Amino acid sequence: MTDSGTNELQVSGVVKAYGPGAPVLDGLDLTVPGGSLAAVLGPSGCGKTTLLRVIAGFLKADAGSVTVAGRLLGGPGTHLPPERRRIGIVPQEGALFPHLSVARNIAFGLTGRDRAARRARVADMLDLVGLAGYGDRMPHELSGGQQQRVALARALAPEPHLVLLDEPFSALDSALRGAVRAEVRGVLRESGATALLVTHDQQEALSTADLVAVLREGRVAQCATPEELYHRPADPWLASFVGDAVVLPGTVDQGMATTRLGRVPLAAVPAGVRDGVVVLRPEQLRLADPESADAGGVVTDIRFFGHDALVTVAVEGLDQPIDIRTPSPLEVGLGRKVGITLTGAATVHPVPA
């Protein structure tokens, strides 16, 4: 079992460029408390994979430092090779050795232990990932989800200070992905390992991680719990990137914002903001009787998901239609006039310069 309390990851001021021009990582800072699972999220080209490779030791940063469990792994005058970093890696698609059994795959990194100790550790890992009795099987005899659990067991077997997961669920079909994510999260928590998950999937990051760090232009734009990131985004771009967002112009007065859809309380008001950008989530909007609501419009599209639906409404005075998340069964149709009411609190941000 890993001593999770001491395994904090600290990335400080890391810069990495591949040539002339703007660096891929530009003074990036990130702290992951020991025993936490953090997700790194961002658009293509933002530096997610580069960050993972710098932490793992596959790339040397141009500036800044990487510290794990209080031990400097990379920094001015220091660059430990990957095999000396006590970092486990779970790559895409598992990447198991096809010619080795499950047990021998897990035991691959257990150097410096006698045979009895290796066998005992492999047995513990198989039990941890729910595959006790599968040690003699070959990788091709396992399902995709089972292979991914073996890859996780292999990464955890040497008792690393940190586990890096590089898009580990991308090769799984959608029906299996959620179950395997939950299993991996449970295994990591039971092991006490600190982990960093690199993903492009917003829902995966929000549903799996304790912390989510969103990268933008080589830096962390916001690092917060999934709930805080979703309900208190630092700016409108983050709000639109992490989930669906309704972005409206608004006027701020005494903790309230007046918008084209009505008045809404604000979670917080930045100093000096009078006219700003108000951000709501589609589930904070409600369909109502158009005769009694303060605002309304015409339904232009409906996307049905079973448990709920996104209803798109064109509102007079707004440049873009808005989405309203509403539970099923639906009681609206295309072309129908509807009213709109607001619930909960919104965030407000200065108008971009």
Tokens for 171?
């090769």
Q: What is the distance between the alpha carbons of residues 116 and 79, in angstroms, rounded to a whole number?
A: 34
User: Chain-centre distance of CA 254, in angstroms?
Assistant: 35
Tokens for 106?
């897990």
What pLDDT is recorded for position 20?
A: 85
Interval 253-302: pLDDT, tens: 989 999 999 999 998 878 888 899 999 999 999 999 999 898 999 999 99
Domains, the chain, ordered by start: 4-231 (3.40.50.300), 245-350 (2.40.50.140)
Residue type, 305: F
Interval 113-162: pLDDT, tens: 888 999 999 999 999 888 999 999 999 999 888 898 899 899 999 999 99
What pLDDT is recorded for position 182?
A: 87
What pLDDT is recorded for position 3?
A: 52
For the chain, the three-class secondary structure string (H helix, E strand, C coil) is: CCCHHHCCEEEEEEEECCCCCCCCEEEEEEEECCCCEEEEECCCCCCHHHHHHHHHCCCCCCEEEEEECCEEEEECCEECCHHHCCEEEECCCCCCCCCCCHHHHHHCCCCCCCHHHHHHHHHHHHHHCCCCCCCCCCHHHCCHHHHHHHHHHHHHCCCCCEEEEECCCCCCCHHHHHHHHHHHHHHHHHHCCEEEEECCCHHHHHHHCCEEEEEECCEEEEEECHHHHHHCCCCHHHHHHCCCCEEEEEEEECCEEEECCEEEEECCCCCCCCEEEEEECHHHEEEECCCCCCEEEEEEEEEECCCEEEEEEECCCCCCCEEEEEECCCCCCCCCEEEEEECCCEEEEECCC
* pTM confidence score: 0.89
What pLDDT is recorded for position 5?
A: 56
Tokens for 136?
């003699």
User: Chain-centre distance of CA 177, in angstroms?
Assistant: 15
What pLDDT is recorded for position 179?
A: 83
What b/e readout covers 106-124, taking b as 16+ CB neighbours within 10 angstroms? bbeebeeeeeeebeebbee
Cα–Cα separations (whole angstroms), residue 311 to 24, 340, 344: 38, 11, 19
Residue numbers in the chain where pLDDT is lower than 70: 1-5, 94
